[in-house]
Amino acid sequence: MSVAPLRVLIVDDEAPARSRLKNLLADINADLANVVVAEAADGVEALECIHRLEGGVDVALVDIRMPRLDGIGLAQHLAAMPGAAAVIFTTAYDQYAVRAFELSAIDYLLKPVRAQRLLAALGKLPQGVADAALLQRLAPEGRKHLHSTERGRVLLIPMAEILFLRAELKYVTVHTLVREYLVEESLTHLEQEFAELFIRIHRSCMVARSAIAGCERESDSDGEAHWALLLHGVAEKLPVSRRQWPLIKALLKEE
Amino acid sequence: MTSIRHEAYRLPNFCNFGVWLRILLGANGLAVMAVVAGNHSFSELTSELAALAAYFEWPLIASLSLLCLLSKHIERLSYAYGVTVVVISAVATTAGVYVLLLPFDRLSATPYRLMPTLFWAVACAAVLLFYFNARARLQSPALAEARLMALTSRIRPHFLFNALNAVLGVIRSDPRRAEAALEELADLFRVLMRENRELVPLSDEIALARQYLNLERLRLGERLQVKWDIESCPPDALVPPLMLQPLLENAVYHGIEPGEQAGEISIHFARRGDQLLIELANPYVVGASSHVGSHMALANLGERLMLFYDLEARLETEANDGRFVVRIVTPYRHGVGQ
């Protein structure tokens, strides 16, 4: 009667801190079967591991302060990925984050971590990903990037660079001045999460409020006229649906 | 004058720039008040102020220069004798300048007479001496030391716990490295916990900084690059204790840790005449965590420089070309012979 071992991902930018956690996980293996499936040095590498690993990751031990994408950013990305790993934060000293954990009744590990403490935390794993209330406390301004996977590499797309997003069959395409990316998220979720930054202009299209330059009357091939939106830096004219037009008109008037 | 203790209940150091500034401002303030109070008509005010400048600035500067020249001798006198020397120098220079200037005097509408002028010189000296005495009492050595102690004992807990965690991380794979790291940590904390109120040789500060950087390299590895440029600086220069380490800690926290690639901290010392120049630069990571902590560490160091050097030291920061630079200028003091 063997239970499948817990699949653990270690995320920390400091090599000795990672090896310390690996030692401890080996020490408690008799009490709680576990396997370290990967180690990552920052949030982006962690996302790459999670996308790459066939068997998935049960729990990620995540340091808070890291380059590129920090622990809180990583948790935000995981929260937007259904079925992704549970997160246990580790920190050496971060009063601000610790207060947020206490307020949200979230378990966390203080470095240096003790074996017994690690065992207890893994024993009562949080269900699913870090909860929304905690992320709201830790980073009230929300996610700073979306991420896109290309040939095993994870690319971060800063929210501020996004001009518009369009729903395709299974993906959302994200358009910036330079290029476009594929993102595995639903437009509806993104609309809810970033209502302050973007506005829906069509069932399948959402534009950055700051990018709107103006509008134009256009006529379809069948002779029916509709409005189209012009964005700064975008040659394409984006059609506005009849349903969304009153909203867009009001927004244009405000400016 | 390597200790705060020596500064209280004594005459001010007449060679100190800050002291000069205070005396010049204070004396001029008193003189202008006297002129305005004794002024009969508004139209004469300008010429009276001009005449005052001639009769006032020269004796004042002459007297200060004389006191600066004599400062080594004055330091050995008791406070009462010191005050006597100051008053005599004020009277002597005022009388001297009065006699020299009298033949050329065409400015003042009502020519100054010698006795009232001397009276003003003595009164002015008395008021300023009273001010410096009161100031010394206010900043009593106990208070200044308490402030210094409070200011120096702040090390980031972030560093301590991360360092301990790093030692635990290598203790099984590389016990010798772990031993060395614990020894370095012990040395570092010994310095952090002693009473840091005397200036220390720069070489000690550099040795301490290297130990600190070794500890950080244990956890950051190749990401932490350091360039020292200290050839042109005399190693016997004296600096405030724990000046470098907090700056380096700042540089690591804000410049190296948030950076994805390896980053370089550069440290540059130079002596420029009677000044010591210290420059520390680190990569400036845009969008990294807030700089509140950094401001606190810098404000803290600024206050300590003020306690050690008064207005003679400067601390400036600037961020450009992706580098954050801290520049400190202190008077050059050296160890031997003082």
pLDDT digits (tens, 9 = 90+) for B102-121: 776 655 545 567 777 788 88
CATH superfamily placement of domain A145-254: LytTr DNA-binding domain (2.40.50.1020)
Using CB atoms, pick whichever of A17, A42, A92 lies closest to residue B158. A92
Query: Which one is the CATH code of A6-138: 2.10.77.10, 3.40.50.970, 3.40.50.2300, 1.20.1090.10?
Result: 3.40.50.2300
* CA dist., res. B223 & res. B257, Å (int): 8
Q: Indicate whether B100 and B200 sit together in one domain.
A: no
* CA dist., res. A31 & res. A200, Å (int): 52
Query: Which pLDDT band, with edges at 50, 70 and 90, does B223 fall under?
Result: very high
**Which of chain B's residues have a Cβ under 8 Å away from the Cβ of A71?**
none
Q: Which of B111, B139, B167 is the endpoint of a domain?
A: B139
Mean residue pLDDT of chain A comes to 90
Q: Indicate whether B275 and B321 sit together in one domain.
A: yes
Mean pLDDT, residues B82-98 = 84
Yes or no, beta carbons of A18 and B169 under 8 Å apart? yes
Tally of CB atoms within 10 A around A43: 30
Q: How far is B19 from chain A (nearest CA, A)?
A: 43
Mean pLDDT, residues A22-45 = 96
CB-based contact (8 Å) between A48 and chain B?
no
Q: Which of B91, B115, B139 is the endpoint of a domain?
A: B139
Contact present, B205 and B230 (Cβ < 8 Å)? no
Domain ranges in chain A are: 6-138, 145-254
Of the listed ranges A81-90, A101-110, B138-147, B303-312, the least confidently predicted one is: B138-147
Closest CA to B154 of B85, B255, B250: B250
The token pair at B276 is: 């010591």
CB-based contact (8 Å) between A133 and chain B?
no
- Identify whether B336 is part of a domain: no
String of DSSP letters for chain A: --PPPEEEEEE-S-HHHHHHHHHHHHHTTTTS-EEEEEEESSHHHHHHHHHH-TT--SEEEEESS-SSS-HHHHHHHHHTSTT--EEEEEESS-HHHHHHHHHTT--EEESSPPHHHHHHHHHTPPSSSPPHHHHHHH-TT--SEEEEEETTEEEEEEGGGEEEEEE-SSSEEEEESS-EEEE-S-HHHHHHHTTTTEEEEETTEEEEGGGEEEEEEEE-TTS-EEEEEEETT--SPEEPPTTTHHHHHHHHHH-
Q: At residue B2, does pLDDT exceed 50?
A: no
Per 3-state DSSP, what percentage of chain B is helix, strand, and coil (rounded to 5)? 65, 15, 20
Q: Indicate whether B95 and B170 sit together in one domain.
A: no
**Which of chain B's residues have a Cβ under 8 Å away from the Cβ of A18?**
169
Mean residue pLDDT of chain B comes to 82
Contact present, A173 and A114 (Cβ < 8 Å)? no
What pLDDT is recorded for position A127? 65
**Which of chain A's residues have a Cβ under 8 Å away from the Cβ of B157?**
92-93
Query: Which pLDDT band, with edges at 50, 70 and 90, does B22 fall under?
Result: confident
Yes or no, beta carbons of A93 and B172 under 8 Å apart? no
Q: Indicate whether B212 and B276 sit together in one domain.
A: yes
Q: Indicate whether B313 and B280 sit together in one domain.
A: yes
Q: How far is B265 from chain A (nearest CA, A)?
A: 17
Q: Indicate whether B103 and B246 sit together in one domain.
A: no
Query: Which pLDDT band, with edges at 50, 70 and 90, does B146 fall under?
Result: low
- Identify whether B114 is part of a domain: yes
Mean pLDDT, residues A161-175 = 94
Domain range for B250 is 145-331
Q: Indicate whether B261 and B151 sit together in one domain.
A: yes
What pLDDT is recorded for position A63? 95
Q: What percent of chain A has pLDDT over 70?
A: 97
User: Scanning the structure block, which residue is given the tokens 């378990």?
Assistant: A107
3-state DSSP assignment of residue B113: coil
**DSSP label at B130?**
H
Give chain B's domain count. Answer: 2
Contact present, A219 and A211 (Cβ < 8 Å)? no
Q: Indicate whether B134 and B275 sit together in one domain.
A: no
How many residue contacts between A and B have a Cβ separation below 8 Å?
62
Mean pLDDT, residues B221-239 = 90
CB-based contact (8 Å) between A94 and chain B?
yes
Mean pLDDT, residues B39-52 = 73
Q: Of A52-56, A162-166, B95-99, B152-156, give the range with the top mean pLDDT.
A: A162-166
- Of B284 and B166, the structure prediction assigns the larger pLDDT to B166
Q: Indicate whether B131 and B157 sit together in one domain.
A: no
- Identify whether B217 is part of a domain: yes
Closest CA to B246 of B309, B145, B158, B132: B158
- Identify whether B279 is part of a domain: yes
Q: Indicate whether B266 and B320 sit together in one domain.
A: yes
Yes or no, beta carbons of A15 and B221 under 8 Å apart? yes
Tally of CB atoms within 10 A around B240: 23
Yes or no, beta carbons of A23 and B172 under 8 Å apart? yes
Angle subtended at Cα B332 by Cα B326 and Cα B334, rounded to the nearest 5 degrees = 125
Query: Which pLDDT band, with edges at 50, 70 and 90, does B330 fall under?
Result: very high
- Whether omega before B331 lies within 30 degrees of 0, making that bond cis, reads no
Q: At residue B286, does pLDDT exceed 80?
A: no
Q: Which of B99, B114, B139 is the endpoint of a domain?
A: B139
Burial class of residue A253 (count of CB atoms within 10 Å of its CB; 0-12, 13-18, 19+): exposed
CATH number for the domain spanning B301: value is 3.30.565.10
> Beta partners for A253?
none
Digit-coded pLDDT (tens) for A1-21: 467 899 999 999 999 999 999
Q: At residue A102, does pLDDT exceed 60?
A: yes
Q: Which residue does chain A place closest to B255, by CA atoms?
A: A67
Q: How far is B220 from chain A (nearest CA, A)?
A: 6
- Identify whether B338 is part of a domain: no
- Of B226 and B137, the structure prediction assigns the larger pLDDT to B226
Q: Indicate whether B226 and B195 sit together in one domain.
A: yes
**Which of chain A's residues have a Cβ under 8 Å away from the Cβ of B260?**
42, 67-68
Mean pLDDT, residues A31-51 = 96
Q: Indicate whether B34 and B60 sit together in one domain.
A: yes
**Which of chain B's residues have a Cβ under 8 Å away from the Cβ of A68?**
260
- pTM comes to 0.76
The token pair at A9 is: 């991902």
